[in-house]
Structure 1
Amino acid sequence: MTATLALRQNAPEPAPVSERAQRELDFLMRQIQSNRFLPHPPPDSIFVGDGDYRAIGAEFLGHFVRLGRLQPHERVFDIGCGIGRMAVPLTQYLDPERGSYDGVDPVMDGILWCAQTITPAYPRFRFQRLDIAHPLYNPQGSLPGIEVRFGFPNQSFDFIIMTSVATHLPPDELVVYLNEAARLLAPGGRLFLTAFALDGQSTGQERLKFRRWGEGPGWYAIEEAPLAAAGIDAGFLLEHATQAGLAVERLGQGHWRGVSAAHYQDLLIAVKPGEAR
């Protein structure tokens, strides 16, 4: 039995959202997609990812709440925040006095747009550029990925987001990010991470045919740019999340594989042991 399949069979289902809370969340997600007054970058500025900016953000807000159990009062850290695709819907959900959001990214244009457009209206939403080297997004960066340490004290956050970040990291750097997430989460806090978690059998649809990267746990789909769509052995991801000090709740398969799923990439949710604040 593969690691991914075993975890899917044994993972606890998220606590059900009440019918009223479900209706309220559905309404909020619709409002986010239709509210023309919310910040929205010009089309030529959306440099990370594809698809509908507002619709994808609203979709992930639903995942954060339903699967990640995000609460309005919590402190959120968005690693790889890009141009605010996750931040904008969170401005409508997080409590403006108790909740908070910090986003980091190596691409200056995205950080500048977020800081100049989102922060003035939502002062508890803060954005910071880190000059992390990346062959695609920041080739001249001064900080090697294996040396990353985010500048926040231990246990600073209740919810850490890594959407489409692991899919652009080599295995050794992904381990560093997992360790940092464990350091930064408060007891009871959750890591919400998307990945292409390969189990040795499913290698994706025609658009993404993964091949193993050397002898290690990494996979790639685009030979000329391996980090444009990077996969990772599911067992390696589970092992190193656990070694970092996190309790893995679930690793759900995404519909990139050609299976029915609510999300495109595979989804890892891992919890920092201990009682929540």
Structure 2
Amino acid sequence: MNTVALVREPFIQPAPLQGERLNDFLKVVERNRFLPVPPRDSIFVGDGDFRTIGLEFLRYFIEIGGLRENDRVLDVGCGIGRMAVPLTQYLDPAAGEYAGVDPAASGIEWCSRNIASHYPNFRFTHIDVSHPLYNPDGCVDGSAIALPFSAGAYDFVIMTSVVTHLPACEIRPYFAEIARLLAPGGRFFISAFVIEDGIELDGDGRDPRLGFEREGQGSAWHANKETPLAAVAFDDGFLDRHLRASGFELAIKQLGRWRGKSDAPNYQDFIVAVKTARGA
């Protein structure tokens, strides 16, 4: 079983688009030739088709995360707008809001020029956090992350393919900061690589690029010793513990097919956590 529901009563309200209505909506978005797509040589994060992946995740946000059209969304590690572009079609321009932050200035510049200029409820902010791959000259240590937004300003926070590039010491600071920014009951959608106990990492069907090896005695695993933060996995339970310690309750954990689970709909592992009253 790939999906584990972790709370007895659902925190997540049903999204207004479901079933065939959602399918029809996504088809319309896919055919919208006016949506911006960055030049291929400037897409510096993620693989696969830019628009296809963005639409795939929009479906995940709605069906798994419970994203609503009037939500205030924060995209931590927005890159060059792969999640933002389809969200321009879903979020209500009168009620929904979007803020994207990223340490890669070139991505923020492209998004500001090509997305925010056409959608007033979208904004993008460069955060000068140091990262050896995306911002090596940054002046802010990731373990001291502080985002320039008010407490409780958001209903839905996205971290897609972000914890897969962070060192273990930065996980808790990011989670604590996101807990500060989420309103009580707000949802936190994470994609990650989770190493399950007793699961062979070289089994049939596993992505051959992800030959993770443990880093010392810690909870982190790296797929590339020379470039450790190119792909990072964590022991099962590591992210869960830091989420709970930051004031979240886990709602969903859905494992992905990267490890050879051919029946999984998603490639990476997904976690949806909900901010509780104690995280306020």
TM-score (norm 2): 0.91
Whether the aligned pair in 2 keeps the contact of 1:29 and 1:59 (CA below 8 Å) is no
Q: List runs of 5+ in structure 2 lacking aligned partners.
A: none
Deviations 1:66-101 (A, max 9, x none): 011010001000000000000000000000010000
Establish whether residue 241 from structure 1 lines up as the match of residue 237 from structure 2.
Answer: no
Deviations 1:220-256 (A, max 9, x none): 0111111000011121111110000001112110110
1:265 match: 268
Whether the aligned pair in 1 keeps the contact of 2:13 and 2:66 (CA below 8 Å) is no
1:136 match: 133
Specify the SS of the correspondent of 1:238: helix
CA distance in 1, matches of 2:63, 2:147: 27
1:159 match: 156
Q: Map 1:90-129; keep pairs closer than 5 Å.
A: 90-129=87-126
Establish whether residue 8 from structure 1 lines up as the match of residue 11 from structure 2.
Answer: no
Amino acid at match of 1:94: L
1:217 match: 219
Deviations 1:143-177 (A, max 9, x none): 01101111111111000000000000011101111
Give the counterpart of 1:200 among 197, 202, 207.
197
Q: Tell me how large the CA RMSD over aligned residues is.
A: 2.1
CA distance in 2, matches of 1:37, 1:198: 40
CA distance in 1, matches of 2:118, 2:16: 31
CA distance in 1, matches of 2:213, 2:17: 45
Whether the aligned pair in 2 keeps the contact of 1:132 and 1:145 (CA below 8 Å) is yes
Alignment CA distance shift 1:75-1:9 (3 Å): closer
Q: List runs of 5+ in structure 1 lacking aligned partners.
A: none
Amino acid at match of 1:8: V
- What is the percent sequence identity of the aligned residues? 48
Amino acid at match of 2:209: R
Whether the aligned pair in 2 keeps the contact of 1:32 and 1:54 (CA below 8 Å) is no
CA distance in 2, matches of 1:207, 1:266: 16
CA distance in 1, matches of 2:186, 2:24: 26
Alignment CA distance shift 1:9-1:147 (3 Å): closer
The alpha-carbon deviation at position 43 of structure 1 amounts to 1.3
Alignment CA distance shift 1:43-1:122 (3 Å): same
CA distance in 1, matches of 2:74, 2:147: 10
Give the counterpart of 2:46 among 34, 45, 49.
49
CA distance in 2, matches of 1:144, 1:63: 31
Specify the SS of the correspondent of 1:92: helix
TM-score (norm 1): 0.92
Alignment CA distance shift 1:116-1:19 (3 Å): closer
Q: Map 1:76-87; keep pairs closer than 5 Å.
A: 76-87=73-84
